[in-house]
Amino acid sequence: MIFLVGCVCLLTLLNTQVLLSAVNKTTAICGYHNAQQKSALEDSSVTQDLNTQETAALRARDVVSTEAVSTDGRSGYNRREETDGRSGYNSLPGTDGRSGYNRREETDGRSGYNSVGTDGRSGYNRREETDGRSGYNSIGTDGRSGYNRREQTDGRSGYNSIGTDGRSGYNRREETDGRSGYNSIGTDGRSGYNRREEADGRSGYNSIGTDGRSGYN
């Protein structure tokens, strides 16, 4: 009798352990499935966040593309309204049509481009000095660039417009003693020679009393 009671207790204990093991396995399996479902839900949430970010980026790019219409046609540049000469590109009136330049009203010759009061040459202003020092004089010149009419006729100037004999750099000299290189009066038609009246054979050219041979009397 006691043996039977012991067997029943042993069987009951074994059944209890089997049941506990089965419950533990069931709990573990359920926990695994729950973890998988949770992971799947988290992945789905991350995917939705990424899609939302991409959509926002595309919308921002569309906005930027819409705003890019207000540029001047150059990539990476927006219209700049400054017109003080510092900006590389000015889009509104007040420029002279050259990129990077604004109309400057100074006419003192220092600026590289003056739009008013110039003589038509880039970078030059009309200068009224006529003393021969300036490289370009618009008034009172004789038609040669960089030269002003000089009135000296003493033979020192390189160009004299009045009182010359038609040769550049020469003035009419009236000496007829044979020393000057060019004498306009009293010569015999040969440059650098004056008529000499000696007939003793010493002169290279005698115009009177020779025998027809040059250099001989």
Residue 13: what pLDDT? 77
Model confidence at 2, pLDDT cuts 50, 70, 90, reads confident
Q: Please give the Cα distance from 196 to 211 (Å, whole number).
A: 16
By the 8 A CB rule, do 92 and 110 touch? no
> Does the pLDDT of residue 216 top 80, yes or no?
no
By the 8 A CB rule, do 136 and 120 touch? no
> Does the pLDDT of residue 26 top 80, yes or no?
yes
Residue 56: what pLDDT? 72
Q: Please give the Cα distance from 118 to 96 (Å, whole number).
A: 14
Name the residue with tokens 């009798």: 1
3-state secondary structure of 26: helix
By the 8 A CB rule, do 158 and 170 touch? no
Q: Please give the Cα distance from 17 to 29 (Å, whole number).
A: 18
> Does the pLDDT of residue 33 top 50, yes or no?
yes
Residue 90: what pLDDT? 47
Residue 163: what pLDDT? 47
> Does the pLDDT of residue 30 top 70, yes or no?
yes
Q: Please give the Cα distance from 202 to 178 (Å, whole number).
A: 14
Residue 160: what pLDDT? 44
**Is the pTM higher than 0.85?**
no
Give the Å distances, CA to CA, from 120 to 97, 103, 130, 146: 16, 15, 19, 16
Q: What is the pLDDT of residues 155-174, one digit of tens each?
A: 444 444 444 444 444 444 55
Model confidence at 147, pLDDT cuts 50, 70, 90, reads very low
Q: What is the pLDDT of residues 92-143, one digit of tens each?
A: 444 444 444 444 444 454 544 444 444 444 444 445 554 544 444 444 444 4
Q: Please give the Cα distance from 177 to 132 (Å, whole number).
A: 35
Give the Å distances, CA to CA, from 50 to 32, 46, 208: 27, 6, 121
DSSP letter for each residue of 52-82: HHHHHHHHHHHHHHHHGGGS-SSTT------
CB-CB neighbours of 152 under 10 Å: 11
Residue 11: what pLDDT? 76
Mean pLDDT comparison of 37-46, 85-94, 170-179, 186-195, highest-scoring range: 37-46
Mean pLDDT comparison of 36-40, 68-72, 75-79, highest-scoring range: 36-40
By the 8 A CB rule, do 201 and 209 touch? no
By the 8 A CB rule, do 105 and 113 touch? no
